[in-house]
Amino acid sequence: MANIIACNLGSYGRYRAVAYEHLRAIGLTNVEIGVPAPDALPGLLDELGRYGLKVTSVLGKCDLSNPECVEGMKPQAEAATRLGARIVFLSVKTNGIPLPVAYERLRGVGEVMAAAGLTAALETHPDLIHNADVALETMRAVDHPCVRVNFDTANIYYYNEGRTAVEELRKIAPYVVSVHLKDTNGGCRAHHFPTLGQGVVDYPEVFRVLNGLGMYGPFTLELEGIAGEQLSEEQQKARVADSFAYLKRIGAV
């Protein structure tokens, strides 16, 4: 089975306006986008269709400290369904609420996802998913089949010391339904996220681990760049194209 490779539009930095055209040109036809406002949805669908692009995941919002957060997921789930996505990416934190309350609200999110045929993928962020041990605790406590993990290969290094992406992935892999492909120099709290293949992440092994469990994506490019750099439009596009080419070289595409 072929891996589903996608691109988060943030990978284009300040040049998002050229993203669709460039993605079509390099043959990368899956995208991860934010949940649009309802009145923007028809135009967005038309634009995606013009460029032959498919939405594989959407970037949702869920503030677990808000008692209405579960209800707030319903219109987002509807938008994801209309866009044809199956994954709703969420960055969640407890924001001061007790863990049992956070878990219960995440179960509620799971129910909304289940009703729409979707899965919520929780990002590798503090304080619920920032490493495998914490993520396992969260997954087991929430215990909902439609609440799973988005594994970010660089965030393991950014938020932790003494851990590697592959070691952490092996622990949590059965819960992973999506991946953010982001390379890193390996430094904790180091905003150094270069072109794929130029950092420390062992991507061939990342794909071996997940493919071995029957997980083929979406694997989404999330190229956040290096602190202080100012890329031109051509350099930004080259980073996306070169990252995609790297995935081809290692046999992931």
Give the mean pLDDT of the chain. Answer: 98
217 has pLDDT over 90: yes
pLDDT digits (tens, 9 = 90+) for 143-154: 999 999 999 999
Chain centre distance of CA 72: 20
Chain centre distance of CA 158: 16
What does CATH list as the number for 5-249? Answer: 3.20.20.150
User: In sequence order, what are the residues at sequence separation of 6 or more whose Cβ sits closer than 8 angstroms to the Cβ of residue 238?
Assistant: none
Rounded-to-integer distance, Cα 20 and Cα 92, Å = 28
| Neighbouring C-beta atoms of residue 91, cutoff 10 Å | 17
Residue 120 parent element (H or E):
strand 119-123
Rounded-to-integer distance, Cα 135 and Cα 133, Å = 5
1 has pLDDT over 90: no
pTM, to two decimals? 0.97
Rounded-to-integer distance, Cα 55 and Cα 178, Å = 13
pLDDT-based confidence at residue 242 (cuts at 50, 70, 90):
very high
pLDDT-based confidence at residue 213 (cuts at 50, 70, 90):
very high
Query: Which 8-state DSSP code applies to residue 240?
Result: H
pLDDT digits (tens, 9 = 90+) for 76-118: 999 999 999 999 999 999 999 999 999 999 999 999 999 999 9
Instruction: Give DSSP secondary structure letters for 182-231.
Output: ------TT--EE-STTSSS--HHHHHHHHHTTT----EEE---EETT---
Task: Yes or no: say if 5 and 217 are a contact pair by the CB < 8 Å rule.
Answer: yes
| Neighbouring C-beta atoms of residue 68, cutoff 10 Å | 9
**Percent of residues, the chain, with pLDDT higher than 70:** 100
